[in-house]
Amino acid sequence: MTKRATHLAAASFLSLQLCLVVYAQFTPHRYFCWAPNDYANTYSLNVKIHGEELTADQALARYHLQDHNASYENPATHIIDTVRQYEKTYGWDDHADVVLRWSLNGHSPQTWRWPGD
């Protein structure tokens, strides 16, 4: 690669990141936009498959999520995205009922349900 090409590639790569940083402020998501550990969410997941309730550990393992005793330091929308994508793809045949309850930075709890929301 010529020096000009490497400079152009580096400038484009950095410009893309800058666009993502600004764009993220207009959305509830914080992917690839340098917002590290800026949120403190505590949450619980209730998952029912064919009417049978999974344990807390099974529910977390289903979506490869972290232990809920520690705080989740991305926005809760990331958990919602994860659950929604899983239930639409790998788990569509399970017809799962999911209830996510979370509290952001100690505020009053909020709830999100799948299917539905």
Q: List interacting residues with other proteins (CB under 8 A).
A: 3, 6-7, 9-11, 13-14, 17-18, 21, 24-25, 30-40, 42, 63-65, 70-71, 78, 81-82, 85-86, 89-90, 104-107
* 46 vs 103 by CB, closer to other proteins: 103
* 24 vs 56 by CB, closer to other proteins: 24
* 1 vs 51 by CB, closer to other proteins: 1
- CA-to-CA distance for 26 and 29, rounded, in angstroms? 9
Neighbouring CB atoms inside 10 A of 75's CB total: 21
Shortest distance, position 47 Cβ to other proteins, whole Å: 15
Residue 79 is encoded by which pair of tokens? 């958990």
Shortest distance, position 95 Cβ to other proteins, whole Å: 18
Q: Which residues, in sequence order, are bridge partners of residue 48?
A: 53, 97
Dihedral (Cα; 94, 97, 103, 109), 10-degree rounding: 180
